[in-house]
Amino acid sequence: MSILQKEIILPARRRGFYLITPDIVSQLPELNAVRTGVLHIFIKHTSASLTLNENADPAVRKDFENYFTRTIPDGASYYEHDTEGDDDMPAHLKASLLGSSVSIPITNGTLNLGMWQGIYLCEHHNYGDEREFVCTIIGE
């Protein structure tokens, strides 16, 4: 068994839900050598998150954004924390609900996702920053 850990950076994006599976795979050519294993991806931020969901219809990502925008509104009077603006505390809440990591099986050099699954970067700030990830491959 071997373990590889690599940090990668994805460019800044506006608020929204983005399918980043190809971005992750392109920066991890080491996946090709893994017969059986796991890829763990951790995002090093508190105002963006990761999740797995629909990879085919972009309307799903738009619906995710619409749901979270309505459920956790910007600028609510009950928020105390607004250091980075009206979207700051809502971004932290959304990130906590969705989570900061995903783990995906690796089989014969590829991510063993379901037919309709993909990795989402969930950017919760109106104007996000570059996002840093720690990717750990455990396998043989």
Model pLDDT for residues 6-55, shown as the tens digit of each residue: 999 999 999 999 999 999 999 999 999 999 999 999 999 999 999 999 99
> Structural domain boundaries of the chain?
2-139
3-state secondary structure of 111: strand
Beta-carbon contacts of residue 4 (< 8 Å; ≥ 6 apart): 30, 136, 137
Determine the CATH number of domain 2-139: 2.60.120.460
Half-sphere exposure of 22 (CA within 13 A, CB side): 4
- The confidence score (pLDDT) of residue 67 equals 98
